[in-house]
């Protein structure tokens, strides 16, 4: 592709003249850095990409079906592979297998009854978010690789939910792992993951098992209702356990073998007996620790105060007013809506308002079907699965007739939600999120919709100095040291891009940090020797400047 030329987009559709009829034909014709846009439908294909740089993006309900094959649905080796809004059904192999290179997955659904849902190996880097793995032999297998697995649901897995092995050092955060035949998370063969804010339940073995010289960091995880112990550390293992909550597990809740030496902080050992008030205080402190969002924090605290006082009045035999838990979160992308929704759900659980507290994130494609009647069925199934916890509908405005193609089906989802929210208002918290102006259209889509939500909470864009602080926290959390000279570089950069129409707030900060890590890696590789520890940790102002100076 010529320098400066726009990347190509190739359309795949079995029903549209002029489009490629199969994904394989589009891949054969696609240059590097192209996007393959796939129309709704089922595609009985397996894809093998070697050293390619391509993005596959579904538009509507896109299913890649390889249930009759012994090959992975998608296999990547080297290069860059992006998979967005796809359903991948495997047969006798993995749904997605990545060896080396870089993998980015978002909003994908994977099933693989005789293999892992996702397998990442050979020093691949990856970012996997908002995905679901169900009906697999193992959920996600990460070996000898690093990256981020977040906001992902793994359930109905015959073996282990997540396996981390062969020195892999991913960050696993905000994941829901349940209904696994063996362990929730298994870390072995010198695994070094950071596992934080994960919810693990109803597994046949240990919640998290650590073996073979591994040393994970476990932060703020909840392990409950499992057949085995909550956490186990085998001989020779180390690591750190911070503020984890263990409930209804086999005894002892934490099993540490002779010769194992993890650091288990007292806040974890006491977690099982933490009072409701203490749990509330911890969660509110977590909310307060977020950068900015002053108005959001005040609104959430006000809601929690009212709910708690109502509960005290109920216990005292006094009358109480009805309080709905359904909310609208309005604001730009990257302003913390999903994170606050998770905390809000955990607050409601600590108050006893939600019996289970699971977090289910969906978008239009999870609710809207392809024919009349299909949407009501899909929406009802999703709603039922979220019962007892939080149902977070991202970009909810795309369901309204004014905003979505095929709007009648979107309207059917809204109408179904209105009835379900009323029938089960005490058993679930529905949070609809999206851009501020578009959420007004969403509220107007059904006469009863606005009344189902008790409040709209508005998320303001972050100021440049707040984004600098967010970036600094990302750097520290990833075990890097930021050059003090980098602050003005960051501040100037965020002030410059804040006016762009596609400004992503904290997402822009994360993209900048990920690009900076690559720049630092290139600089260290050029040394021609093994860097010292301080050099491995150091992120220089020049590393950031090199990224911010890049065009586009």
CB proximity list for 317: less than 8 A, separation 6 or greater: none
- Give the model's pLDDT for residue 287: 87
Number of C-beta neighbours around residue 499 at 10 A: 7
Looking at the fold, whether 435 and 477 belong to one and the same domain comes out as: no
Q: How far apart are CA 42 and CA 277, in angstroms?
A: 50
Spatial CA neighbour of 132 closest among 114, 115, 107: 107
Task: Please check whether residue 364 is in contact with residue 395, taking contact to mean a CB–CB distance below 8 angstroms.
Answer: yes
Looking at the fold, whether 55 and 3 belong to one and the same domain comes out as: yes
Is 444 within a domain?
yes
Tens digit of pLDDT per residue, the chain (552 long)?
444 556 899 999 988 999 999 999 999 999 999 999 999 999 999 999 999 999 999 998 899 999 989 999 999 999 999 999 999 999 999 999 999 999 999 999 999 999 999 999 999 999 999 999 999 999 999 999 999 999 999 999 999 999 999 999 999 999 999 999 999 999 999 999 999 999 999 999 999 999 999 999 999 999 999 999 999 999 999 999 998 999 889 888 999 998 999 999 876 754 443 445 556 777 888 888 888 888 999 988 888 888 888 878 777 777 766 667 889 899 888 889 899 999 988 888 888 788 777 888 888 888 887 777 788 888 898 888 888 889 998 888 888 754 444 446 778 888 888 888 888 877 888 998 988 888 887 887 767 777 788 888 999 888 888 999 999 888 888 888 888 888 889 988 888 888 777 787 888 888 888 889 888 988 998 888 888 888 888 889 998 988 887 655
Is 360 within a domain?
yes
Looking at the fold, whether 483 and 532 belong to one and the same domain comes out as: yes
- Give the model's pLDDT for residue 6: 63
Q: What does the DSSP assignment read for 471-528?
A: HHHHHHHTT-EE-TTHHHHHHHHHHHHTTSTT--THHHHHHHHHHHHHHHHHHHHTTS
Q: How many CA atoms lie within 13 A of 52 on its CB side?
A: 21
Is 150 within a domain?
no
Secondary structure class of 88 (helix, strand, coil): strand
- Give the model's pLDDT for residue 453: 85
Is 329 within a domain?
yes
Q: How far apart are CA 155 and CA 192, in angstroms?
A: 23
Is 346 within a domain?
yes
Spatial CA neighbour of 514 closest among 539, 484, 493: 539
Q: How far apart are CA 191 and CA 381, in angstroms?
A: 37
Domains in the chain, number: 4
- Rounded to the nearest 10°, the torsion over CA 393, 160, 171, 98 is -90
Looking at the fold, whether 411 and 486 belong to one and the same domain comes out as: no
Longest dimension (CA), the chain: 75
Looking at the fold, whether 203 and 296 belong to one and the same domain comes out as: no
Is 154 within a domain?
no
Task: Please check whether residue 116 is in contact with residue 92, taking contact to mean a CB–CB distance below 8 angstroms.
Answer: no
Is 152 within a domain?
no
Looking at the fold, whether 266 and 281 belong to one and the same domain comes out as: no
User: What does the pLDDT look like over 278-333, one tens digit per residue?
Assistant: 567 778 888 888 888 889 999 888 888 888 888 787 777 777 666 678 898 998 88
CATH of the domain at 306: 3.40.50.300
Looking at the fold, whether 529 and 433 belong to one and the same domain comes out as: no
Q: How far apart are CA 99 and CA 50, in angstroms?
A: 9
Looking at the fold, whether 396 and 312 belong to one and the same domain comes out as: yes
Residue ending a domain, choose from 459, 491, 523: 459
E strand or H helix at 359, and its extent?
A: strand 359-362
Burial class (CB in 10 A: 0-12, 13-18, 19+), 231: buried
Residue ending a domain, choose from 106, 137, 168: 137
CB proximity list for 503: less than 8 A, separation 6 or greater: 332, 461, 497
Number of C-beta neighbours around residue 473 at 10 A: 15
CA-based radius of gyration for the chain:
24
Looking at the fold, whether 503 and 428 belong to one and the same domain comes out as: no
User: Does residue 252 have a cis peptide bond before it, meaning omega lies within 30 degrees of 0?
Assistant: yes
Task: Please check whether residue 193 is in contact with residue 170, taking contact to mean a CB–CB distance below 8 angstroms.
Answer: yes
Task: Please check whether residue 148 is in contact with residue 331, taking contact to mean a CB–CB distance below 8 angstroms.
Answer: no
Task: Please check whether residue 478 is in contact with residue 307, taking contact to mean a CB–CB distance below 8 angstroms.
Answer: no
Is 142 within a domain?
no
Q: How far apart are CA 376 and CA 410, in angstroms?
A: 10
Q: How far apart are CA 546 and CA 114, in angstroms?
A: 45
Secondary structure class of 457 (helix, strand, coil): strand
E strand or H helix at 306, and its extent?
A: helix 294-315
Looking at the fold, whether 364 and 305 belong to one and the same domain comes out as: yes
Looking at the fold, whether 244 and 219 belong to one and the same domain comes out as: yes
Q: Where are the alpha helices (DSSP H) in 316-434?
A: 337-350, 364-367, 374-386, 407-423
Task: Please check whether residue 175 is in contact with residue 162, taking contact to mean a CB–CB distance below 8 angstroms.
Answer: yes
Query: Length of the chain in residues, anyone?
Result: 552
User: What does the pLDDT look like over 393-410, one tens digit per residue?
Assistant: 888 888 875 444 444 677
Q: Give the relative orientation of helices 464-477 and 486-497 as an angle to the nearest 10 degrees.
A: 130
CATH of the domain at 121: 2.160.20.10
Q: What does the DSSP assignment read for 145-214?
A: -EEEEES-EEEEESS-SEEEETT---EEES-EEEEESS-SEEE-SS---EEES-EEEEESS-SEEE-SS-
CATH of the domain at 519: 1.10.8.60
- Rounded to the nearest 10°, the torsion over CA 347, 353, 358, 359 is -60
Residue ending a domain, choose from 232, 256, 272: 272
264 beta partners: 241
Task: Please check whether residue 393 is in contact with residue 433, taking contact to mean a CB–CB distance below 8 angstroms.
Answer: yes
Domain, as residue range, for 400: 276-459
User: What does the pLDDT look like over 62-85, one tens digit per residue?
Assistant: 999 999 899 999 999 999 999 999
Looking at the fold, whether 163 and 302 belong to one and the same domain comes out as: no
Q: How far apart are CA 215 and CA 222, in angstroms?
A: 19
- Give the model's pLDDT for residue 367: 86
């Amino acid at each position: 592709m010529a320098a400066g030329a726009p990347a190509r987009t190739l359309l795949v559709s079995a029903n549209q003249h002029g489009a490629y009829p199969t994904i394989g034909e589009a891949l054969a014709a696609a240059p590097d850095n192209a996007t393959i846009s796939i129309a709704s439908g089922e595609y009985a294909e397996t894809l093998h990409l070697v050293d390619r740089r391509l993005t596959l993006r579904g538009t509507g309900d896109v299913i890649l079906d390889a249930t009759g094959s012994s090959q992975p649905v998608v296999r990547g080796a080297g290069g860059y592979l992006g998979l967005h809004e796809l359903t991948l059904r495997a047969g006798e192999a993995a749904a997605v297998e990545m060896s080396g290179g870089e993998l980015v997955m978002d909003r994908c659904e994977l099933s693989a009854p005789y293999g892992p849902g996702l397998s990442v190996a050979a020093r691949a880097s990856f970012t996997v978010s908002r995905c679901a793995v169900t009906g697999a032999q193992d959920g996600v297998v990460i070996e000898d690789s690093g990256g981020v697995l977040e906001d992902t649901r793994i359930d109905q897995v015959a073996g282990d939910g997540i396996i981390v092995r062969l020195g892999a050092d991913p960050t696993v955060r905000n994941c829901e792992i349940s209904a696994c035949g063996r362990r929730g998370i298994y870390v072995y063969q010198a695994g070094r993951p950071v596992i934080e804010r994960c919810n693990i339940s109803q597994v046949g073995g240990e919640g998290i098992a650590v073996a073979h010289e591994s040393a994970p960091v476990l932060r703020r995880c909840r392990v409950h209702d499992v057949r085995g112990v909550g956490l186990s550390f085998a001989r020779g293992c180390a690591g750190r356990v911070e503020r984890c909550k263990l409930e209804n597990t086999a005894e002892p809740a934490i099993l540490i073998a002779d010769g194992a030496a993890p650091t288990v902080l007292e806040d974890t050992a006491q977690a099982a007996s933490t009072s409701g008030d203490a749990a509330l205080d911890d969660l509110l402190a977590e909310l307060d620790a977020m950068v900015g969002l002053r108005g959001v924090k005040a609104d959430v605290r006000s809601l929690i105060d009212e709910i708690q006082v109502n509960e005290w009045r109920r216990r005292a035999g006094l009358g109480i007013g009805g309080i709905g838990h359904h909310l609208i979160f309005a604001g730009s992308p990257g302003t913390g809506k999903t994170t606050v929704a998770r905390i809000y759900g955990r607050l409601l659980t600590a108050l006893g308002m939600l019996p289970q507290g699971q977090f289910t994130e969906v978008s239009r494609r999870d609710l809207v079907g392809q024919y009349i009647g299909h949407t009501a069925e899909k929406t009802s199934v999703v709603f039922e699965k979220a019962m007892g916890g939080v149902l977070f509908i991202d970009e909810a405005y795309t369901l309204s007739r004014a905003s979505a193609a095929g709007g009648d089906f979107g309207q059917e989802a809204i109408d179904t939600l209105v009835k379900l929210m009323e029938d089960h208002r005490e058993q679930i918290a529905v949070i609809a999120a999206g851009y501020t102006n578009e959420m007004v259209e969403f509220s107007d889509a059904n006469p009863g919709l606005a009344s189902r939500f008790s409040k709209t909470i508005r998320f303001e864009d972050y100021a440049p100095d707040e984004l600098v602080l967010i970036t600094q926290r990302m750097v520290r959390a990833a075990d890097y040291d930021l050059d003090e000279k980098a602050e003005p570089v960051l501040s100037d950069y965020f002030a410059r891009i804040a006016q762009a129409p596609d400004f992503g707030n904290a997402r822009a900060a994360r993209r900048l940090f990920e690009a900076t890590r690559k720049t630092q890696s290139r600089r260290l590789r050029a040394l021609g020797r093994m860097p010292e520890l301080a050099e491995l940790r150091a992120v220089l102002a020049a590393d950031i400047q090199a990224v911010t100076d890049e065009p586009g």
